[in-house]
Structure 1
């Protein structure tokens, strides 16, 4: 039985973030993608990149303090066994939602948000707090340093995407290579699709789960996942990278795949869903099918 109802929302307390708890409350946050930067700047490199975009209204900036003043309502939804979606009722930036994994060796926050408030913090503390944050790719870096400071935990990022960090901080821990073992049950994997330093998270408990952000995007038809270099600009990923990622992920067993957006969860046969999805991609590119699974 979970500690929260299947869907739980609650209002913030209306008190502006304190300087002590939220030292970056007045730092600039890109309104388009949600990335927080260490100092004011004219543009957002994440949005300038062809995997994102600058909105038609132009480059706009906000702050955590301004977002808090707008009375965003936090939202927690149980999305699977031991997994809670964490976000806001009203969408911010690209509509990010993070996932709280309640593992046997401590809670891990997968991906991150441009927003945090005392209500969110109190709820997560009530669920056991955090031991670490891990992030799939730069579109979810958002206010990761703020979250790290609030919970006094490290943020695990792949070294290959270091250039996209907007607010350097000692809390950021960069890993390299193909995998990083966080616990006996949890492994970060670098499939090198969407971004060179992209990561997915494998949790071996309860039949196995793969947390993919939109590195592997769970489709509205949840029998399928998709993969792109750029989703908003419709640029496909290179077939050789897709094949390499498929071969790497074949080493792991998982029933469920948790995507980037609310409710985008494959609930069964995750390995088969991933394999047939990537085979479909390769077929459309005129490439040979994947080798049969071992």
Structure 2
């Protein structure tokens, strides 16, 4: 339900929008994958955020793909990705802030045909982005429906796979959340293919491996079996590059990196390397 006459509020910690009246504690942050700060819950409005001088910044990662971030960051501070195709654009992992100049910058690259997030931590202010971009569909994994904090007529639920445009497809892989998803963009990386992965498959700082975690801030790993399952699910796709949700990337050979990382993760969780500890 949309509460008429009441502004939506944004959790200061995860930057996910929520209809009023809001709960005492953000359910997303109270879950074991996230956290409530020691100084307690705080709810913000877009007007309050705007008064702090925030702005939306777009930078090109490669032809047809633009990183979208908020400066200074809001909440988790993810970097969204704008995938531009001849049929229209996908806004992926939308940030927790939106203003008129940000909307204009996004629309400078063409109309947006869908908004989607890899998982609930990345919902941001997705319904508000939709409203300002012309009420475009917001795609939410059915398996993660319970975490949706703000509803609306443009929210559509999906499972398994969902085609956004030709060569641009959502794939539900689970792991971090049951509905965790990736985007396969076939035209990316000069036609070699790109995966946008959120936290499902997380490019590590070494730029040679990826991680598989239930919680990143609280250091909860997924099992080896789940890591191998995710890798197997993505084996059928062709891709050479991976972008995570902070613009962290594996720039080449990403499919092999994913396979080797899943094997390494499974080996560590089996205890194969306990002699090193």
TM-score, with normalisation over the residues of structure 2? 0.91
1:43 aligns with 2:25: yes
TM-aligned CA deviation for residue 215 of structure 1:
1.4
TM-aligned CA deviation for residue 51 of structure 1:
0.6
Of 5, 8, 13 in structure 2, the residue corresponding to residue 32 of structure 1 is 13
Counterpart of 1:240 in 2: which secondary structure? Answer: helix
The 8 Å contact of residues 223 and 269 in structure 2, kept in 1 or not, is answered as: no
Superimposed CA distance per residue, residues 210-243 of structure 1 (whole angstroms, 9 cap, x where no aligned partner): 0001211111111111110111111111222212
Of 229, 249, 257 in structure 2, the residue corresponding to residue 244 of structure 1 is 229
Q: Paired residue for 2:128?
A: 146
Q: Paired residue for 1:53?
A: 35
The 8 Å contact of residues 35 and 166 in structure 1, kept in 2 or not, is answered as: yes
Counterpart of 1:57 in 2: which secondary structure? Answer: coil
Q: Paired residue for 2:238?
A: 253
1:165 aligns with 2:148: yes
Of 240, 243, 250 in structure 2, the residue corresponding to residue 266 of structure 1 is 250
Work out the number of aligned pairs and report it.
264
Q: Paired residue for 1:283?
A: 267
Superimposed CA distance per residue, residues 10-38 of structure 1 (whole angstroms, 9 cap, x where no aligned partner): xxxxxxxxxxxxx9993211001001110
Structure with higher strand content? 2
Unmatched segments (≥5 aa) in structure 1: 1-22, 289-294
TM-aligned CA deviation for residue 73 of structure 1:
2.3
Distance 1:134 1:267 in 2: 23
Superimposed CA distance per residue, residues 231-266 of structure 1 (whole angstroms, 9 cap, x where no aligned partner): 11111112222121111100101011011103x111
Distance 2:71 2:129 in 1: 19
Distance 1:29 1:134 in 2: 18
RMSD of the alignment, in Å? Answer: 1.6
Distance 1:24 1:167 in 2: 15
Q: Paired residue for 2:275?
A: none
Distance 2:269 2:116 in 1: 32
Superimposed CA distance per residue, residues 37-77 of structure 1 (whole angstroms, 9 cap, x where no aligned partner): 10132110000001100012111111111111111022111
Unmatched segments (≥5 aa) in structure 2: 273-277
